[in-house]
Amino acid sequence: MPDHVHVFALCPPRHSPAYIVNYLKGKGARRIPQRFPELRTRATREKLWGRSYFVATAEIVKKYVEERWEKER
């Protein structure tokens, strides 16, 4: 999908998944328009990130990504 992002992260257990997702979305919302100015006009009219996210164990994510990769080919 053109507007879909997968992030595979190894994070310390002291941080909740919600904290990590909010941190990444917050940093991305500031840095992506800086690095890609053509997205700046879109980002000012719309939200860069949606509210939803998905969190799973490494095994489940690996299987999902592999299946999506095969479908995209």
User: Which of the pair, 20 or 52, is modelled with greater confidence?
Assistant: 20
The total of structural domains in the chain comes to 1
Whether the pLDDT of residue 43 is over 70: the answer is no
Decide if 4 is inside a domain.
no
pLDDT (0 to 100) of residue 1? 55
Q: Is residue 38 part of a domain?
A: yes
3 state SS of 53:
coil
Query: What pLDDT shows up at residue 14?
Result: 94
Residue 48 pLDDT exceeds 90: no
pLDDT of residue 42: 53
Per-residue pLDDT averaged across 11-22, rounded? 91
Range of the domain at 28: 17-72
- Asked whether residue 2 is assigned to any structural domain, the reply reads no
Tell me if 11 is assigned to some domain: no
Residue 12, Cα to own-chain centre: how many angstroms? 18
- What local confidence, expressed as pLDDT, does residue 55 receive? 84
In a domain, 50, yes or no: yes
Residue 1 lies in a domain: no
